[in-house]
Every structure is written in C-alpha cells, then in structure tokens.
Amino acid sequence: MIKTNALRIGAFLIAAAAVIIWSCNNGSNASVLAPMPADKPLLPRADTNAIPAGKYGEMVRYGRALMMNTAYYIGPEGVSGKYLGNRMNCTNCHQDAGTKPFSFNLMLSHAQYPQYRAREGKVLTLAERVNNCVTRPHNGKPLPLDSREMVAFLSYFRWINSFVTQDRSYKGGHNLDITFPAVAASPERGKALYQQHCARCHGPEGAGQASGLTYVYPPLWGPYGYQPGSSMHRVIKQAQWLKANMPYDKATWEKPFLTDEEALDIAAYVNDDSIHPRPDVKNYDYPYKEEKAIDYDKGPFADTFSARQHKYGPFQPIISYWENKCLKAVY
Ligand code: HEC
Ligand code: HEC
C-alpha cells in the first residue's frame, strides 16, 4: 500500500515537472505565462454610508480621514502627532482613500498580509507595510504600532476589504498594463511632455501648489516629494499609474490620456535624480538581488544589464532574459 502510494506520488511529481518544463518552453511570451481572466469584475465601490456605528466605526472613519487628510493629522505640523517629513496625503497616490481602481488600490490589502516582501527580504504585517509608506513617500518616522493612528489605518483597511470576496481577483486591484517600446525611456522627451501636460498643476519645477498644511497639487520631486526608496520612484511602476490617473482632469483607466511610451518618458523625467534631487536617504533594499524588481535602479543586479537600463529600459530584453531562465520578471 505504502509502495503504491509512493509510486503514485512519484508519477505525479514527474508529470508535474513535465508540465512545468513544457509551460516554460512555451513561455517566451509574457501573456502566455499570465493569462488575463476575461470575467474579472471591476472592484466595487466602498459605500461610506455603510460605515458601522460604534467604536469600530469610529476608528474606520478616523482611518479614512487619515488617508484623505494625512498631513493635517500627522504631517510636520500635525494635530495628532508629527510623523511625516512632508505634507503629502496618502490619497495623493492611493486615490479616493485607496478605493479607486488602478490607483494603487488598497481594498484587497487587509486579507493579503502578513506577506513576504522582497524589498525587505522578510514577512511584513500590514502595519509594517503602512509604515513603509509613512517613512518613504512621506519621508517620515514610523507610527508606533499601537498608536490610535495605526489602529485607525488598519480598521479602515479591514472595512474596505469587506466589500470584496477573498477568493477572486478584480480589475483595478493592480496597475494597468503597459507595453514596452523597443527604445529606452527618455528624460529629455519626458521633459517636453511634462511641460505640456503636467506643469499647469504640479508647476514647472515639480514643486506642486501648497495650500494651508498640505497641497492642492502635490510636489513630484525636490525636498518635499517622495524618497528614492518609494515604489513611485520606479519608472515602470509610475508609468502604469500615470496611464490610468494623470493628467488628473483628463485620464481614466478606461480612457488613458498618455500613450505607454509617453507615460514611460514622463516617469523617466520625473524620476531622474541627476536633474531632480530628492531627500537623500540610504535604504538598503532587496537583500536578495535575484528578487529585485527590474525597474529598481540600484545594483548589484542578478542579471547582466546596466543600472541605466534597469532604470530607463529598454525593458523587454530584461523581461526576456528572466523568462529564458523560466522566471517571471518582477515590476
Ligand atoms: C507617492 C505615492 C504614495 C504615497 C503618498 C503613499 N503611498 Fe502607499 N504605496 C505607494 C505605492 C507605489 C505602493 C506599491 C503599490 C504597488 O506595488 O502596486 C504603495 C503600497 C502601499 C500599501 C501596500 C498595499 C498592498 O496591498 O501591498 C499600503 C498598505 C500603503 N501603501 C499605505 C499607504 C498609507 C497609509 C499612506 C499614507 C500614510 C501611503 N500609502 C502613502 C505609493 C504611495
Ligand atoms: C489638473 C491638474 C493636474 C494635472 C494636469 C496633473 N496632475 Fe498629477 N496630481 C494632481 C492631483 C490633484 C493629485 C493628487 C490626487 C489626489 O489627491 O486625489 C496628483 C497626483 C500626482 C502624483 C502622485 C503624488 C505625488 O505628488 O507624487 C503624481 C506622481 C502625479 N500627479 C504626476 C503627474 C504627471 C506626471 C502629470 C502629467 C502627465 C500630472 N500629474 C498632471 C493634479 C494634476
């Protein structure tokens, strides 16, 4: 009996290995590796009228207020504590307080943590992940894990998570896909496009437009923008987000305004540290170099491409390099 089971398991393993080799040999095209299910529903709206009464509801409401008016509560002059190093709000990137599809949406997050994170090379709780954004894009110091503010963020994330079903994926939970041009993204072309499409709100020097304790239009670089260690500083990541969300008054995920190439060029310009210095913080990220996102521009790299190519592309050769090793490039 034991023998038969062992044989069966053995046969299964051989079959499984054959499937892996077979699919890898057929995997030179990324779309073969990751088919898009056609029936993915769009993320539902989180109905703010449905926030429950009582103590938990109070925390959900405060969490939502923190997402929207982060600088007011916990900014450099925050009324609840001085944690952030700049006056941006979480909702500047996680639009509609983390509920807008294709805008670094946070509705699925609560159920997906603790989670292994390659950037830190360890398993993080959702609270620790919140602090990554407090310290990096907001250039601040971490919220104490038992603070009222952290509990409010987590309560809010649990509440927005209650509108989705855990065992399925949604349209809008991840970024919009972009196709990669054969040429590298160009900060020079990006500069002209930026002046044409972005400067009217974010200013010709990317400084944004301040208003009281925060901004009407947040800064894109300079001492009060996000840090180089932020995911927004990665050219592919930002380009995907820009495609669905900017210019603010023109783009929607259903009808993007920028072409993929324009979004990459603009992201290259915004994130070019040689023209746009940012708060200089040394983050020792990705302890395992083979887990690095391909658009993360600090070496050492596990592949043969230069730091410049990791930053600006062309990205397709990097993606193919990893696929030829039967591995999916992360970005
Ligand atoms: C400059 C833009 C920016 C700002 C401001 C920002 N974030 Fe983020 N945040 C990101 C990006 C980019 C990611 C990664 C998204 C991805 O990989 O698709 C992220 C990821 C997260 C995640 C993890 C989501 C997941 O499911 O893995 C959480 C939670 C989060 N942010 C919370 C916050 C909170 C709370 C604030 C305000 C204190 C904030 N963020 C401010 C850009 C920003
Ligand atoms: C009509 C004004 C307007 C235009 C034009 C515009 N933006 Fe924005 N942008 C905003 C607003 C408002 C936000 C904050 C969104 C929110 O809080 O919901 C924002 C947020 C951002 C953010 C995330 C927060 C930050 O400061 O890092 C980036 C990046 C960004 N815009 C880039 C661009 C780029 C690049 C362009 C040109 C393609 C552009 N925007 C055009 C109004 C604009």
Residue 248 CA, ligand 2 centroid: distance in Å? 6
Tell me the β-bridge partners of 123: 116
Query: E strands, 244-299, where?
Result: none
Residue 103 CA, ligand 1 centroid: distance in Å? 10
Tell me the β-bridge partners of 209: 217
Q: Where are the domains of the chain?
A: 51-161, 187-324
Question: Cβ(294)–Cβ(331) under 8 Å?
Answer: yes
Ligand 1 touching residue 301 (CB < 6 A): no
Question: Cβ(331)–Cβ(315) under 8 Å?
Answer: yes
Note the pTM of the prediction, 2 decimals. Answer: 0.92
Ligand 1 touching residue 129 (CB < 6 A): yes
Question: Cβ(235)–Cβ(264) under 8 Å?
Answer: yes
Architecture, CATH, for domain 187-324: Orthogonal Bundle (1.10)
Q: Whose CA is nearest to atom 37 of ligand 1?
A: 90
Nearest Cα neighbor of 209 from 200, 222, 221, 218 is 218
Give the helix ranges, DSSP H, for the chain: 2-25, 30-33, 54-68, 70-74, 95-98, 126-135, 148-161, 187-197, 199-202, 235-245, 260-270, 307-312, 316-324
Q: For tokens 């007011």, name the residue.
A: 72
Q: What is the pLDDT of residue 68?
A: 98
Fold identical between 51-161 and 187-324? yes
Tens digits of pLDDT across the chain (331 residues): 444 454 454 444 444 444 444 456 544 444 444 555 567 999 999 999 999 999 999 999 999 999 999 999 999 999 999 999 999 999 999 999 999 999 999 999 999 999 999 999 999 999 999 999 999 999 999 999 999 999 999 999 999 999 999 888 999 999 999 999 999 999 999 999 999 999 999 999 999 999 999 999 999 999 999 999 999 999 999 999 999 999 999 999 999 999 999 999 999 999 999 998 888 777 768 999 999 999 999 999 999 999 999 999 999 999 999 999 999 999 9
CATH 1.10.760.10 applies to domain 51-161:
yes
